Amino acid sequence: MTDNAKQSENHTLGSGYPLGAVEVSEGIRFTASLPFKHTLQLIVYNRKGEPMDHVDMTKYCVSTGIYSCVIKNLKAKECSYAYEADGKRVCDPFMKDSIAARKFGDDKSPIDNAKVYVPDFDWGGDAPLNIPYDRVIAYQLHVRGYTAHPSSKVKNRGKFYGLTEKIPYLKDLGINQIVLMPCYEFDEIVRPVKPATMEEIDYRTDPNGKSPLRINFWGFTSGCYFTPKGSYSNGDPVKEFKETVKEFHAAGIEVIMRFYFPDSANKSFIPEILRFWAREYHVDGFFLMGSDIPMDLIAADIYLRDRKIYNIFFDKGSITGRKYGYNRNMAFVNADFMNVCRKYLKGDENQLSDFIYRQRLNPDDVHTVNYITDYYGFTLKDLVTYDYKHNEDNGEDNTDGENFNYSWNCGVEGVSRKKSVIQLRIKQMKNALTFLMLAQGTPMLLGGDEFCNTQNGNNNPYCQDNETGWVVWKDNLHVREITDFIRMLIALRTKHPILRPEREFRIMDYAACGFPDLSYHGDMAWSPKFDNHLRHIGIMICGKYARLSRTREDDSFYFAYNMHWENHTFALPKLPKGQVWSVAFMTCDEHAGIIVNKTLAEEMTSVTVPDRTIVSLISVEETSAKGNDESEDKEKRDI
């Protein structure tokens, strides 16, 4: 009997579902969807990486563009596989495991061979955490960039396991959700094409190919959406990513994955991709990016209703209507919040009304996720250090990246040793963080902002797999001041439910307690002004609309926002009998000119706030306040 005859006896037509490679009772079923190809060869390798079988998949067509073949007596752990389409090696877009042969940015080795996925991981009772949105403190990061730099001091730099080594740090900061930039398998090598033929240029053989290679560090490109990125692992991406999720869950931290789907992506597969990660990897949710994503189908998917779904745009009529059901885990990631807060921070005119609207926005049909900085644009440190983008190292003549950053360099472009500039920048960073953490939505912090990570003015480091794109961990007096401040803000928000209401404030006294849930104040209490030229406002949040326990109402807060370059005095609303205002925190230096005016009865009636400063007051029992007035240092309440 000939080899061809033997091979034919060992191959049978498969069912065509699901796509990818699946172990079945007879052996392994390989199903591919690569339409518009003339030839399609399946190559199977043994453990040594040697070819052991070839299959002409076009002979096993089960539907237009779908080919399925069962290779008998083949074991999943004994082989890997790859495809050649029209003579060119391609990665199976539906592979669910890989041999993780490549290092990040290495184009000298072939595209990773796929492995047959074997769901034999012991989750030990692990399940999604389902943390309510009002309790989430989100923290977005790049898996490789977060720990790739030696200053991260982790053993597994740039890997999934490197993240788990940072769990104690994240818990100490108060983080309970991480948002990961793309960490599914994608080709990070930027491969331009010849315009006439749309064929990829091979840098190593084409004399017209550009050099050196360019890297898509961020990963916002098409990919193999069913498997973790092999180069983020030490050799077993499936096991290591599952262990990473399991360890974060054990620490009380959710894991959200960003997915980018280009226009060329088949949108019908998106719900299936999300279900796979939800079922097999226990991820808590997804941040979806790309145009024309089928949000109505995702909202109606019964297997995704307990997973958080983030997007930058929602058609509320589609996802909340009865036609598709109602997924209460949908969230709108709010870029308008970022832009408005940045403009108000630097003192632009006509921003006050928009600022207070964005601060209280908290609809109950689709949740709101707020952020000040993101993977694109300036980091928090760069936001107060640069007026202009500095993307020259990207090799695009500084034409790439966002031109409208709404940043302010505090008087000096770039690094400065002037004490006044340094102090102003620290205050502005504290102001921005206060905007974020006191807004009535879910806050999302950019990893590294809490210790002043900088990209040296590069607002689009998509191709920078180096210190510019990585997080450089720092520790000095100024850094600790910012880190301690954000830790305090997170603790304050976590402790006081009135600062993170489940529903948007109604700005009315619906509890008949004498105070609205939220109220606005100007130079005079209860008399706010929103003129275009004004840059200061007082905001009171009444603690009677939330409880710390069954028997105790929450404290009330008054926030004096002054983004003007001049001091302003705020007359304070009078609290109920037995309560007085006390200073909780301020964003200026400890002795930077804050003036507290009191009556003879030691009750605070007004507060003078320095330029570009936020002062937070908290209601306390009058006897407690008198005890705290023994010294000026004790006037700041220990939250």
Q: Is the pLDDT of residue 323 over 50?
A: no
User: Of 274, 293, 328, which residue sits at a domain end?
Assistant: 328
Take residue 216 and report the two structure tokens written for it: 């898509």
Q: Does 348 share its domain with 402?
A: yes
Residue 500 lies in a domain: no
Structural domain includes residue 267: yes
Lookup: tokens for 597: 């005016």
Question: Model confidence over 188-212: pLDDT tens digits?
Answer: 988 766 555 545 555 444 445 555 6
Backbone angles phi, psi at 114, to 5 degrees: -85, 155
Residue 438 is given by DSSP the state H
Domain annotation covers residue 114? no
Asked, for residue 127, whether it belongs to a domain, the answer is: no
pLDDT of residue 322: 43
- Cβ distance 370 to 438 under 8 Å? no
Tell me, letter by letter, the H, E, C secondary structure of 533-552.
Answer: CCCEEEEEECHHHCECCCCC
CATH number of the domain that 624 lies in?
Answer: 2.60.40.1180
In a shared domain, residues 443 and 485: yes
Chosen domain end from 495, 519, 539: 495
* Residue 602 pLDDT grade (very low, low, confident, very high; cuts 50, 70, 90): low
Looking at residue 114, the DSSP 8-state letter turns out to be: B
What is the reported pLDDT for 635?
A: 42
Alpha-carbon distances, residue 277 vs 30, 96, 271, 281, 494 (angstroms): 20, 10, 10, 5, 29
Strand partners, 286: 257, 309
Instruction: Tell me: do 168 and 310 sit in the same domain.
Output: yes
Q: Would you list the DSSP string of 30-75?
A: EEEE-TT-S-EEEEEE-TTS-EEEEEEGGGGEEETTEEEEEEET--
Check whether 316 has a pLDDT greater than 80: no
Q: Which amino acid is at 567?
A: N
End-to-end CA distance of the chain: 83
The residue-averaged pLDDT of 116-138 equals 95
273, 306, 328 — which closes off a domain?
328
Residue 18 lies in a domain: yes
Do the Cβ atoms of 53 and 35 come closer than 8 Å?
Answer: no
The pLDDT value given to residue 107: 77
Q: What is the model's pLDDT at position 36?
A: 66
Least confident range from 314-328, 418-432, 490-504: namely 314-328
pLDDT band at 34 (very low <50, low <70, confident <90, very high): confident
CATH code for the domain in which residue 81 is found: 2.60.40.10
Same domain for 281 and 182: yes
Q: pLDDT tens across 437-450, in order?
A: 999 999 999 999 99
Question: Do 403 and 257 belong to one domain?
Answer: no
Lowest-pLDDT choice from 296-310, 486-500, 531-545: 296-310
Average pLDDT over residues 131-146: 98
CA atoms within 13 A on the CB side of 83: 24
State whether 602 and 466 are in the same domain: no
Share the mean pLDDT of the chain.
Answer: 89
Per the CB < 8 A criterion, the answer to whether 331 and 133 are in contact is yes
Q: What number of H helices and E strands is found in the chain?
A: 14, 31
Looking at the structure of the chain, the number of domains it has is 4
> Residue 64: its pLDDT value, please?
87
Global pTM? 0.93
- Strand duo 184-186 + 223-228: pairing: antiparallel
CATH number at residue 359: 3.20.20.80
Asked if 485 and 350 sit in the same domain, the reply is yes
Q: What is the DSSP string of 347-410?
A: T-SS-HHHHHHHHH---SSSEEEE-S--SSS--HHHHTT-SS---GGGTSTT-SS-S------T
Percent of the chain with pLDDT strictly greater than 70: 88
Per-residue model confidence as pLDDT tens digits over 334-366: 999 999 999 999 999 999 999 999 999 998 888
If asked whether residues 630 and 529 sit together in one domain, one would say yes
Assess whether 445 and 352 both reside in one domain: yes
Looking at the structure, do residues 155 and 266 belong to the same domain, yes or no? yes
Q: Which domain holds residue 30?
A: 3-90
Kindly tell me if the per-residue pLDDT of 102 is higher than 60: yes
Q: In this structure, which amino acid lies at residue 230?
A: G
Both 394 and 458 in one domain: the answer is: yes
Specify the pairing of strand 254-260 against strand 285-289.
Answer: parallel
The answer to whether position 104 is within a domain reads no
Mean local confidence (pLDDT), 97-109: 81
Q: Which of left, alpha, beta for 252 (phi over 0: left; psi -120 to 50: alpha)?
A: left
Check residue 207 and give its pLDDT: 45
Give the CA angle between residues 216, 221, 223 to the nearest 5°: 110
Can you tell me the mean pLDDT for 502-512? 94
Residues 358 and 429 in one domain: yes
Residue 445 lies in a domain: yes
The answer to whether residue 120 is domain-embedded is no
- Average pLDDT, integer, range 487-501: 97
- In angstroms, the Cα distances linking 585 to 92, 485, 557, 634 are 55, 9, 11, 11
Tell me what pLDDT residue 224 has: 92
Least confident of 41-45, 371-375, 635-639: 635-639
